[in-house]
């Protein structure tokens, strides 16, 4: 009996310790970022002219690239001295977390300052601007390294090179994140799992960041990127920078080893990526996909990415954006509103003539249903998909 009681007591102690133990690693300190201050005056100055100046965040792409509005221009900026894991047209371990960390900082920052290196070079060989990014007085380039989301890359000849290198050596000693930890979100599988677009849409948590094999018909192209659809479900396929002739409207394609990602902030819902590592096979050509005719009240998450047509909408406002995109605020007969987005990635031959659009015009629109933090919108990629009635 005593032995039994002792065993029960020891088991109780073990369970108490196990249930109360916190296995979450402690947060990584950022002493160098905390101590560093911006030593240049940026008031009334321009990054493009003076090499330093305030900026407004337009879009955050990933952990080391974002677009900012400077002097009424939207410019794409590569962050100096870092190279975070990829989280755009393909994914690498810790890329998503690096993106969330950096974009989260930029999206809430009250003051963003861009600073070029002291060598005066503004752009890289790809035409991207180069800068140190200060968000509310903190150097993001340095903090990303201290948080073990990036190594220091090309830092030796940079203004803050010593701090970047020291931060990397200190982060390496922790063995955290990119320096040795397995990314719990990342699917390290070599091959994808056969599934359907519908299964991904209806069970997103089961597929987020997972490699999959799916089949669908290309309904529309957004630049070189594709929207595919099957059995009433649609999805965006973000392929990066290199076009594929296999992705064309009307082609039924099988996509092997693509990655499903839920990203409402930057891709309008669930999308497919990892194009460089995927296999695209054309199964059939010349298929015509009829859009689903619905009203604004029928916008649901199950229809995200699907080709739809909405009729009898009245234009309330026409807005041209700095990045070249166009937004039409529209309303239906019941007074319900949404927006039609004509994105900047649309090919020039498919761009709308703004002079033909007027407040009060009635339109029918065929496009892709998308969502964002600001609400539902219809993505228009072909100007022929907007019918204007006088």
Q: Residue 141 in contact with residue 160, Cβ under 8 Å?
A: yes
- The pLDDT of residue 265 is 67
- The pLDDT of residue 246 is 97
Phi, psi at 155, each rounded to 5°: -90, -15
Phi, psi at 218, each rounded to 5°: -70, 120
Give the least confident one: 98-107, 346-355, 368-377.
Answer: 346-355
Average of per-residue pLDDT values in the chain? 92
- The pLDDT of residue 348 is 80
Q: Per residue in 241-267, pLDDT tens?
A: 889 999 999 999 999 999 999 876 666
Domains of the chain: 31-179 (2.40.50.90), 193-284 (2.40.50.140), 292-389 (2.40.50.140)
Determine the average pLDDT of the residues in 136-140: 98
Please report the beta strands in 161-306, taking only residues with DSSP state E, as ranges in sequence order.
193-194, 211-222, 225-230, 233-237, 252-263, 269-273, 279-284, 292-293
Does pTM surpass 0.75? yes
Q: Output the six-digit token pair for 368.
A: 């892709």
């Amino acid at each position: 009996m005593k032995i039994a009681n002792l065993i029960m007591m020891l088991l109780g102690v073990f369970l108490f310790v196990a249930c109360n133990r916190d296995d979450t690693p402690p947060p990584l300190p950022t002493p160098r970022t905390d101590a560093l201050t911006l030593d240049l005056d940026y008031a009334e100055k321009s990054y493009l002219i003076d090499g330093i100046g305030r900026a407004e965040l337009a879009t955050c792409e990933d952990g080391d690239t974002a677009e900012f509005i400077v002097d009424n221009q939207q410019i794409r900026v590569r962050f100096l001295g870092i190279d975070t894991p990829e989280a755009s047209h393909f994914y690498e371990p810790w890329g998503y977390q690096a993106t969330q960390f950096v974009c989260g900082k930029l999206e809430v920052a009250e003051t963003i300052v861009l600073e070029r290196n002291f060598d005066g070079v503004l752009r890289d060989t790809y035409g991207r601007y180069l800068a140190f990014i200060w968000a509310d007085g903190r150097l993001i380039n340095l903090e990303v390294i201290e948080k073990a989301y990036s190594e220091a890359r090309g830092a030796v000849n940079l203004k803050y090179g010593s701090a970047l290198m020291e931060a990397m050596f200190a982060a390496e000693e922790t063995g955290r994140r990119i320096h040795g930890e397995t990314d719990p979100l990342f699917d390290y599988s070599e091959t994808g799992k056969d599934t359907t677009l519908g299964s991904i849409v209806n069970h997103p948590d089961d597929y987020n960041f997972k490699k999959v094999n799916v089949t669908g018909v290309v309904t529309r192209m957004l630049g070189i990127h594709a929207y595919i659809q099957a059995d009433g479900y649609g999805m965006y396929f973000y392929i990066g920078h290199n076009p594929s002739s296999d992705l064309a409207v009307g082609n039924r394609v099988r996509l092997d080893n693509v990655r499903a990602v839920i990203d409402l902030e930057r891709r309008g819902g669930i999308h497919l990526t990892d194009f460089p590592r995927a296999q695209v096979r054309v199964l059939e050509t010349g298929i015509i996909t009829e859009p689903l005719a619905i009203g604004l009240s029928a916008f649901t998450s199950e229809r995200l990415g699907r080709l739809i047509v909405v009729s009898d909408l009245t234009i309330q406002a026409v807005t041209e954006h700095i990045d070249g995109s166009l937004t039409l605020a529209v309303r239906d007969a019941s007074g319900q509103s949404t927006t039609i987005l004509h994105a900047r990635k649309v090919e020039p031959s498919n761009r709308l003539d703004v002079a033909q659009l007027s407040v009060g015009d009635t339109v029918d629109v065929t496009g892709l249903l998308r969502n964002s933090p600001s609400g539902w919108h219809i993505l228009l990629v072909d100007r022929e998909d907007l019918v204007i009635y006088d």
